[in-house]
Amino acid sequence: MSLEAINLYKIYYDEASFKAIAPPYLPLDNRNGWFELMPILNFLETHELDPKAWYGFVSPKFPEKANLELADVTALIAADPQADVALFSSRWLYLLWFDNVWT
């Protein structure tokens, strides 16, 4: 899998977090106070998605929280080309605790 098929957006909250975004991460604006929900929802509603591409949305502190860099993420995705979803979290127990992690 090539890097062109992986679109990893880093959410920013202010000018400092925007300036900290380095390629190949893509910036995603979250300055309206809705935390991560609103910029992700807006992106999904306003962009035509490529069904063969991967899309990811991470916080500015993703590398520190998950202890993963972009190269780690792309390598893990490329390692299983049949997968439809890749989930990265620094708190796996939280994902297991609730029946629906989004509630």
Is residue 103 one of the residues assigned to a domain? Answer: no
Is residue 13 one of the residues assigned to a domain? Answer: yes
Give per-residue pLDDT as tens, 14-70.
899 999 999 888 898 876 666 677 888 889 999 999 988 889 888 888 888 888 888
Sheet holding 26-29: strands in order across?
A: 26-29, 6-12, 54-58
* Counted domains in the chain: 1
Give per-residue pLDDT as tens, 70-96.
888 889 988 988 888 888 877 777 767
Task: Please report which helix (H) or strand (E) contains residue 44, including its range.
Answer: helix 37-46
State which residues form the domain around 56.
3-97
Judge contact between 29 and 39, C-beta under 8 A.
yes
Is residue 74 one of the residues assigned to a domain? Answer: yes
